[in-house]
Amino acid sequence: MHRLGDGQPIREAMAAADLSIEDLAERTRRIDSYGISPSTIGHMVSQGASGRSKFEDRSCDLVARALDKPVTDFFSNTAPT
């Protein structure tokens, strides 16, 4: 899946929930014992050179669930144009 808005919706949801990257990673581990690494979440929210646009469906689902939002608030199946 492709992140929306260069990760801005994720950053906004994290700020609203007062979560750091490490906090969000910990929340994903509570949902699925493997969770998502802070590094991967950093790539999801980064605006700079370390930012990526495409992620595994599982990672997208875990982030959305950890933020208690629909996955479509943060990701799309189509690449941005």
Q: Note the pLDDT of residue 65.
A: 97
What predicted TM-score, i.e. pTM, was given to this entire model?
0.89
Q: pLDDT of the chain along its 81 residues, tens only? A: 999 998 999 999 999 999 999 999 999 999 999 999 999 999 999 987 667 889 999 999 999 999 999 999 999 988 766
Phi-psi region of 35 (alpha: psi -120 to 50; beta: other; left: phi over 0): left
Asked whether residue 81 is assigned to any structural domain, the reply reads no
* Termini Cα distance of the chain: 14
What is the domain-level CATH number for residue 37?
A: 1.10.260
Asked whether residue 60 is assigned to any structural domain, the reply reads yes
Domain range spanning residue 64? Answer: 2-71
CA 6 vs CA 18, 44, 48, 67, 70: distances in Å: 20, 8, 9, 17, 17
Q: Note the pLDDT of residue 37.
A: 96
Number of domains the chain is built from = 1
Asked whether residue 51 is assigned to any structural domain, the reply reads yes
Asked whether residue 58 is assigned to any structural domain, the reply reads yes
Q: Note the pLDDT of residue 81.
A: 63
